[in-house]
Amino acid sequence: MKIDFANLQHQYQLYKQEIDEAIQKVLNHGKYIMGPEVAKLEENLCKFTGASHAITCSSGTDALLLAMMALGIKPGDEIITTPFTFIATAETIALLGAKPVFVDIDEETYNIDASKIKAAITPNTKAIMPVSLYGQPANLDQINQYTNNKYTNQPIYHIVDGAQSFGATYKEKAEVHYCDIYTTSFFPAKPLGCFGDGGAVLTNNEELATKIKQLRVHGQNKRYHHKYIGLGGRMDTLQCAIVDVKLKYYENDLKLRQEVAEKYSVSLGDECENRDIITPILLPHTTSAWAQYSIRVKNRDELQQQLKTKNQKLETNIPTAVHYPMPLHLQECFKYLGYKDGNFPIAEKISQEIMSLPMNPYVNDEEITYIVKKVIECID
């Protein structure tokens, strides 16, 4: 048995004929930048989510930059976000000269603890940027309680970093319907991934959509006329063609991911009560894209080592991953913010216990049984 963490090759083989045909079509017409497949994917992203506008871009990181640039984020502004996420979330804030303001996370969902946001708001707060970690939306309704000028002299915008959550829902709707701007990533290992880098910005605000479209092509409102300082943030035609093929099957892929997650939880559930294993909690009003299936264990590093070592007890390596081993407030690059160990105890605790098991739509029952059995054996 060979267990693949993301199983990207298997997915390619499933859709190989259509993907190859889509790639060949682009090669034939030669419009590698802003070709017709770009607009086609954007239209289909809108259909899938119900969003009014979808703007593809060069990466999930650039999607965040474009979102904040469209909202006019500038040096001195403060953006409230989570310390428990990939660095791009806070890195893009800093790149624009704004200040990341961290708020600790909820111990059950690992998303930003919305009940702690109010205390972090200052007159300089310009936006709140939750992350839909591992694929599950944050408490969007509670966050929206703070996105008005009740607490500052200006509106507080709501940007969702949905790099891991495309296809997830909050109260039966896509997250874009609960925020000013939703961003996502099509990095290959994401639930909906391309064969390189790519991302998208979604919004229901026409004015913001128009500005984002201009910002992604160096701020142009017409050729060689630049209304804004922008960036080269386009998603190339080949990648759009690939994602558009995958999007046709994505609803089913999401269903399969949810089935894999449920099987993990059921299989581990009987063992958790008497062992130090904590499985993911999905809130009743959300669905997750299940970018990761992450458990918490006390002896994570030892467990990881045992699972990847072949011995008499373990015939097959079980790949695992840690997302994320060090919270952002403790990273050297954010030392200037003045945070210290102990400032966000829940994020710090989770970072030492979290571990992701193989997660993709094609993890089969035999593999799940084997993985769970070996996890239990190694813990014992």
Q: What is the pLDDT of residue 314?
A: 61
CB contact at 8 A, 157 and 147 = yes
pLDDT of 274 > 60? The answer is no
Least Cα distance to 121 among 78, 177, 180 occurs for 78
The larger pLDDT score, comparing residue 311 to residue 141, is at 141
Q: What is the pLDDT of residue 271?
A: 61
Q: What are 278-296's pLDDT values in tens digits?
A: 999 999 999 999 999 999 9
Mean pLDDT within 224-246: 98
Q: What are 312-361's pLDDT values in tens digits?
A: 566 778 999 999 999 999 999 999 999 999 999 999 999 999 999 999 99
pLDDT of 28 > 60? The answer is yes
Q: What are 53-76's pLDDT values in tens digits?
A: 999 999 999 999 999 999 999 999
Q: What is the pLDDT of residue 380?
A: 76
* CA angle, 251 then 254 then 255, to 5°: 90
pLDDT of 265 > 90? The answer is yes
Helices marked H in the chain: 8-14, 16-29, 36-49, 60-70, 88-95, 140-144, 206-215, 237-248, 250-272, 300-307, 345-353, 365-379
pLDDT of 120 > 70? The answer is yes
User: Positive or negative CA dihedral for 51, 55, 58, 60?
Assistant: negative
Helices marked H in 60-151: 60-70, 88-95, 140-144
Q: Is 315 exposed, middle or buried (CB count within 10 Å of its CB: 0-12, 13-18, 19+)?
A: exposed
Q: What is the pLDDT of residue 212?
A: 98
pLDDT of 311 > 60? The answer is no
The backbone region for 240, taken as left when phi is positive above 0, alpha when psi lies in -120 to 50, beta otherwise, is: alpha
Q: What are 175-206's pLDDT values in tens digits?
A: 999 999 999 999 999 999 999 999 999 999 99
For 53-189, strand residue ranges (E) read 53-57, 78-81, 99-102, 125-129, 157-161, 169-170, 173-174, 181-185
The rounded percent of the chain whose pLDDT value lies above 90 is 90
Confidence of residue 99 (pLDDT cuts 50, 70, 90): very high
Q: What is the pLDDT of residue 129?
A: 98
User: Positive or negative CA dihedral for 313, 317, 323, 327?
Assistant: positive
Which residue, chain included where needed, has tokens 């079980």? Answer: 318
The rounded percent of the chain whose pLDDT value lies above 70 is 96
Confidence of residue 1 (pLDDT cuts 50, 70, 90): confident
Q: What is the pLDDT of residue 17?
A: 98
What mean pLDDT is reported for the chain?
A: 95
